[in-house]
Amino acid sequence: MSADNWAECPKCKRDRETKLAKLDADIASQYGKVTVEAFDELRRRATEERTAKINLHTFREDYEIGVYDGEFYISYTGGCSVCGITHSFKHEAKLDLA
Ligand SMILES: [Zn+2]
């Protein structure tokens, strides 16, 4: 069965942003402490990492919404195939037929 949607994983996105910020901090901390060649190599690796094609749309979503047999329902499950976070939500309510 195919997914209803592949969303950007919020945890993987946050982890990537943290990783890139750490790379920038590492480079800044090395300024003036290493050779120019070593510093350029750090910057080259950071640029390579920053421009790498990383698929963050790893959060599989499956959902249903509708009315069945007099009840409104929502069913949602989502989970990331990389970091493993999950979320689910279900709600059912009788329709007001008054
Ligand atoms: Zn993830």
Rounded distance from Cα 52 to ligand 1 centre (Å): 17
pLDDT digits (tens, 9 = 90+) for 75-85: 999 999 999 99
Rounded distance from Cα 25 to ligand 1 centre (Å): 24
| Cβ(42)–Cβ(65) below 8 Å | no
Rounded distance from Cα 76 to ligand 1 centre (Å): 17
Whole-number pLDDT of residue 1 = 66
pLDDT digits (tens, 9 = 90+) for 38-50: 999 999 999 999 9
